[in-house]
Chain A
Amino acid sequence: DTGVSQNPRHKITKRGQNVTFRCDPISEHNRLYWYRQTLGQGPEFLTYFQNEAQLEKSRLLSDRFSAERPKGSFSTLEIQRTEQGDSAMYLCASSLALSGRDGYTFGSGTRLTVV
């Protein structure tokens, strides 16, 4: 296993377009998390899954944001009708939640630029 994989690495899109990012977690990890990071800030939590169940989505930034993890493996994060304020690094992480004492492994992120 090569760790958490995110695609694409970079995405430039025009305002108003929809974009979708993919995250492949470490295969034995049952939890998957999405974060957003803007310049000079720490990562901001968006949503997470345990297997295919989305356990928290109230922190998704607006109803333009949605995430899926259909078979409990990879996940996608979609942003509809992108705005310039959506420009950021989108990070995915995974963990093995057995006792709650697991650490997170992050991917390299997807850098989104909305022009």
Chain B
Amino acid sequence: KQEVTQIPAALSVPEGENLVLNCSFTDSAIYNLQWFRQDPGKGLTSLLLIQSSQREQTSGRLNASLDKSSGRSTLYIAASQPGDSATYLCAVPYSGNTPLVFGKGTRLSVIA
């Protein structure tokens, strides 16, 4: 059974700081890993999709890495802004090509 853990559960940083969000998963037989952003009361917005053969993906100020063998991924946010305040969710398939299992998320607050 796939389990996903995200640390920390909540994080508050001043504007401009670089930060790292962590995700770990128990079953390394995954096809991909996806990071999402969720604003309060809203749906999920996909940020980055990393295939199992990749080590990292970048989009603007976001960089996600994947270490499949150790069951870990990190999301790096550079030069954080108040608009980055949201909950960030990590998700992987149960195993192989099956529906995504989510962590509980990291709630990020960037203070101006």
Q: A residues engaging B (CB < 8 A)? A: 6, 33, 35, 40-45, 48, 56, 89, 91, 93, 97, 100-101, 103-109, 111
Contact = CB atoms under 8 A, between A and B. Distances in A.
Contact of A108 (B34, B42, B105): B42
Given A42-B103, A45-B100, A106-B36, A101 B43 contact: no
Nearest to A92: B43
Interface of B: 4, 31-32, 34, 36, 41-46, 49, 51-52, 89, 91, 93, 96-105
Nearest first, the 9 closest Cβ-Cβ pairs linking A and B are A100-B97, A42-B102, A103-B49, A106-B44, A108-B43, A109-B43, A106-B43, A100-B31, A45-B99
Contacts of B99: 33, 45, 48, 56
Contacts of B98: 56
Contacts of B100: 33, 43, 45, 104
Nearest to B107: A40
A42 B43 contact: no
23 contacts: A40-B104, A42-B102, A43-B44, A43-B91, A43-B102, A56-B99, A91-B43, A91-B44, A93-B44, A97-B97, A100-B31, A100-B93, A101-B31, A101-B32, A101-B51, A101-B52, A103-B46, A104-B34, A104-B100, A106-B43, A106-B45, A108-B42, A109-B42
